Structures are given as structure tokens and as C-alpha cells.
Amino acid sequence: MRRLIPTGDMRRPVEFTEDAQPAPAPDEVLIKVEAFSPNRGETFLLEAPAAGLAPGKDVAGLVVQAAADGSGPPAGTRVVGHPPGGGWAEYAAVPTHSVAVLPDGIDAVRAAALPLAGITALRLLRAAGAVTGRRLLLTGASGGVGHYLTELAAAAGAEVTAVTATAERGARLRELGAAAVVHDVAYADGPFDVVLESVGGGVLADALARLVPGGTLVWFGQAGRVPATVNFFDLLAGPENAVIRHFHYAGAPYGADLATLVRLVAGGRLHPEIGRTDDWSRTADVLVDLRERRVRGNAVLTTGASR
């Protein structure tokens, strides 16, 4: 089968190779991949790839081999999955605890955009606690996580202010329920009960300063790749007793969260923002665009596989 592997050259970060079809563990299904969605964080792993790195955590396709232990869906079932890796290939082995069955109304392209970004958004909102009636500031809102978070939080009754680098990248956020979209934290009309921060650098300190006393900042990324610096004395003049909470989405099983996301999409309550869809022969170009923030929402690559 064909698989994409890292080159170590960020001008063309991946290339095709021939590889053996994966041999699933007893608790894994074998999926014929129809579509996969790379995430911007994965592009950073390609800079100096570890030996044997097989990227790919968001896949959708058809189960062609059921799990030997009897768990999970049978062969012939359309699913979305979140494997530890290996998804940028014609076939992927995925633990049955990290797949969800797809209804006929959800195609592989939309499904592939759900796992990492959607699971992160769900778990972030749980970390933030009850948001109904609360003012929420979301930085770095133009990616896949930001679009899901905006729609989910607004639907839960939060008043969401989204921060995006440009107007074009934030164009859909108002439609998804954002009360305001600004292009610099300095223009965010606070104070806010909760800040969800993913940029780092000076943005974290600026966002923290806009919390109410006793408010919470959940730090879930550093997309700007610049460490954050916080001045203790600035907090004394602003959000006293603020809570800064580190967040990382990872932790299997993922199946229940995937099933929730699928149910919300099927019910018209969640709308994946897919800024780029292309054949997987153009994966290298898409990865460069994703890394350079030229993609709004998620990017999805299709393999040409069909039912």
C-alpha cells in the first residue's frame, strides 16, 4: 500500500512510499482510509521527524477487517477514527475504543475533520466548566478547534469573543455564534469569566489581564511558538486570584467523544469548517499552507477510495 512519510525538508515535508498493510492488534479494526485531516501541530513534528514517524491521527473510511476480539464495528461499516498515528496511508489500524460509526448523511470529508479538533473543543469546554451566561474569550480562533469551540460554546449559552489574525480567517465565526470577532486581544471588550488561550507569547499575558477577579484561563496551545511571560505585579493590578490551567486534550478512549461529535453534526448542531479539500497527492502543499496559516478551519485530503 502507499503511505506518506516525512522527508525532513519543510519545503516538501512528506513523500509517498510503499509499505506493508498494517496488521491490526486484536482490539483494532483495519480501515480503508477515504479521507484524513492533518493538524497544524503535526506539521511541527515534521521539522525533525523521529525515526519511523508515521503521521496521521484523524481518519475516516470503511472497516475492511473487524477486530479479532469481537469489539468494535463489523467489516463494511463506515467509521471515523482517531489512531495514535499512521493515518496518512491507504489503510490504518485503529483501536476500537477510538472509532465511531458514521450515518449515511455524513461523508468521509466532514468526518475526517472531526477527531483531534473536535475532541479538543469538547474537552476544553468541560475543563472550562459551565459556560451558560458567562463571557468567554477565545484566542487563535480561526483554526479547526476555534470554529468548533465557538459553535459549541455559543450553543451552550456563552457570550463568545473570538480573536483571529485577519478578518478573512474569522469570517465564519459570527455565523457560528460568536458575539464579537476582533483581530487583536487589545480590542477585546472585557472583562471575561473564562479565557481559552492557544497562541502564547504576549497574547497570553494580554488575555489574562482581561479576566474578572477569580476568573480562569485555560492554556491549551502555543501556536505562535513563543514562550509566554507573565508579570506577577500586573496580576495584582488586574485579575486577582486568577487561575491558569494547563490543558492537553490527549487521553484515550476517544470513541464516546467521537460519537458525540457525529451526533451533533448529524443533527445540524455542529458544522465542520473545512477550508481546504484536496487529493492526497497534494498533501505536501497542503501541509505547507496549513503551517503558514493559509487554511481556515480544517484541511482534508482524500485518497480516492470508495465504498
Q: Domain spans of the chain?
A: 2-114+272-302, 121-246
Q: What is the pLDDT of residues 160-172, one digit of tens each?
A: 999 998 888 888 9
pLDDT > 90 in the chain, percent: 90
Q: What is the pLDDT of residues 59-99, one digit of tens each?
A: 999 999 999 999 999 999 999 999 999 999 999 999 999 99
Q: How confident is the model at residue 305 (pLDDT cuts 50, 70, 90)?
A: confident
Q: What is the pLDDT of residue 231?
A: 85
For residue 34, give every residue at least 6 positions away whose Cβ sits within 8 Å of its Cβ, in sequence order, or none: 60, 61, 62, 108, 112, 302, 303, 305, 306
How much is the pTM?
A: 0.95
Whether 208 shows a pLDDT value over 70: the answer reads: yes
Q: What is the pLDDT of residues 255-303, one digit of tens each?
A: 999 999 999 999 999 999 999 999 999 999 999 999 998 999 999 999 9
Whether 189 shows a pLDDT value over 90: the answer reads: yes
Q: Parallel, antiparallel, or unpaired: how do β-strands 59-65 and 28-36 relate?
A: antiparallel
Q: What is the mean pLDDT of residues 227-249?
A: 87
Considering only the top CATH level, what class is 121-246? Answer: alpha beta
Residues in the chain: 307
Say if 2-114+272-302 and 121-246 have the same CATH topology.
no
Q: Is the peptide bond before 115 cis (omega within 30 degrees of 0)?
A: no
Could you please report the per-residue DSSP string of 7-42? Answer: -S-TTS-EEEEE-PPP---TTEEEEEEEEE---HHH
Exposure string over 163-179, b if 16+ CB within 10 A, otherwise e: bbeeeebbebbeebbbb
- Quote the cell numbers at residue 302: 482524500
Neighbours of 235 (CB within 10 A): 17
- Distances in Å between the Cα of 212 and the Cα atoms of 61, 136, 191, 296 are 45, 11, 5, 30
**Would you identify the CATH topology of the domain 2-114+272-302?**
Quinone Oxidoreductase; Chain A, domain 1 (3.90.180)
Average pLDDT in the chain: 95
